[in-house]
Structure 1
Amino acid sequence: MRISTPNFHNLIKNPLVIIIPLLAISLLLLFLPLKLSNQIKATCVTPIRPLQWATCFCSNSASNFFDKIISPWRDAQAKKQLEEQISQLTNKIIEQQDTIYKLQNKLSMLSKFQIEDKNVKTSVIPADIIGYDTSNFRKSITINAGSKQGVKVNHIVVSNNTLIGRIITVGSGSSMVQLITDPASRIPGRILQTREQVIVEGNATAFCQLKYIPRWAKLKEGDDIVSSDIGGLYPPSLPIGTVMQNEIKGGALFRSVKVLPMVNISKIESVLVLTN
């Protein structure tokens, strides 16, 4: 009679054939003395230690490799964020400095006017320039003060105690100022040094000119021109400009006189409107 040998494939098809021995081995290891159990563990672990070491080495190497690749990108992103933050802070500082400068300029201009004209009962309205006339033939500015603030037509406008123009149009919250450089502007004035009466006229440039100055007038470059109260529109003694060029052309009856305004209007930001 032939005894048949169990087929391995048939054995593994039955789960109990594998589970029961594993449970038996586990129970055996559980109740073994600690010293013997540790020896068995060490004996089982020893063959796979090289594999563990190789796995750890590969893992660490891969981690270091990816860190080297990603680190520059991460540093670049962090640098970019820092640069953006610095740029934003710089812009805020510049904005605050600009605001402080405007306020200081207004306070200085108002204080200076009150000190120099403390004996004159004149009230003023501070205003900011909010627009410039882009025309090549007219010279005017727009300010952010109007009828609500008490501004009226023909009120005089000054900056740094220097005459720059007069109000010609008034809105509820803004007004237009005709500058002394406008061709339609004609201001009665006097030569400070000689006291001669003159007319200051604009010529649509950054300069003005004097009209009807006779050939024999004692006038020289560097003479100062101030406003005159003749006509009752302008207050007296407001600085206007300085004689920059003084010529006699051919047989002309009058001198050709070029005047440089005391204030560079393109650089000012605030003005004062004289209400009286």
Structure 2
Amino acid sequence: MKTYRYLLIVVFIILASCSHQPPKPVKPEKSNQTASNTEQKTESSPPEHQPEAPHQDHQGKNIVVWADDGSKLAIAIQKNREGDNTDLSSPQHQIWTQNQDGSDRHALTDWRDYQPKQLFYMKQAGYLVVESLLEKGARRFDKITLNGNEILIVETPDSEHQACQQSPPSPEQSLPLQVEQTVIPSPDGQQLAHIYSPECGKVTVEFLHANSLNIFDNQTMTIDEAMRATWHREGYIILANYNNDKAWKVTPSAPPLPVLPPKCGSPVTTSSDISLEGQKVYLDGDTLVTEEVGRDKAFGCQ
């Protein structure tokens, strides 16, 4: 009987000690916060049945932008055609769309040739515009619908056949008398502005209907220094010099008019890496990072 009581006491002591084991520590999530901004990092790896995103920091070749309404993201993932992502001599890219938390992720395109340079996600109008770098300095701009159909908007000549080949006109000016050729969707996505220099000292703005890509108007003006272009939130193009002390308003069916220079030159439309609410997004490796930068950095700061 004494032996039986002894065994019960031993068992009770063992059970009591097990019930008071401390819980395993939980590793806290990394948080970077200051009084002025907050970063939120979210893992965003592609699904198992799709190729994974190459690991690159946000200075690399991958591009991520907000949709024009801020509801989703578009990501252009880049790789080498041969599978070696450290030597991008034969680059390809694939465009994905997803929610900010990584859900509802879809590959919008197959792997496309060439390196992506710029991406606009006009979700409300139902398309994206992607700029790709071709060989010898040539570039192309494509419209991609939300079901993956691709339509060429324009392809630029290579460096040897650019319309403006002259050197900068004076030592004080480091750029030739031209504007960098580009295609930018309007803030509401209903129009495209194709902006280019047909010759040195000239800038042409072609206005296209985004749904049909038909040109419905164009304006050409003479310039005496290099220009850059942005849309204004009220629906017209602003051409400004790089010193930002001269600017012109360009609209369909009206000659260009001098206006006050814009307060900022970018973002150039409602889709960019900064949402209209002032959240900047980028990829840090395969991690999606959002950072509060303020609405004064968003489109509309013009």
TM-score (norm 2): 0.27
Between Structure 1 and Structure 2, whose CA radius of gyration is higher? 1
The structure with the largest strand share of the pair is 2
TM-score (norm 1): 0.29
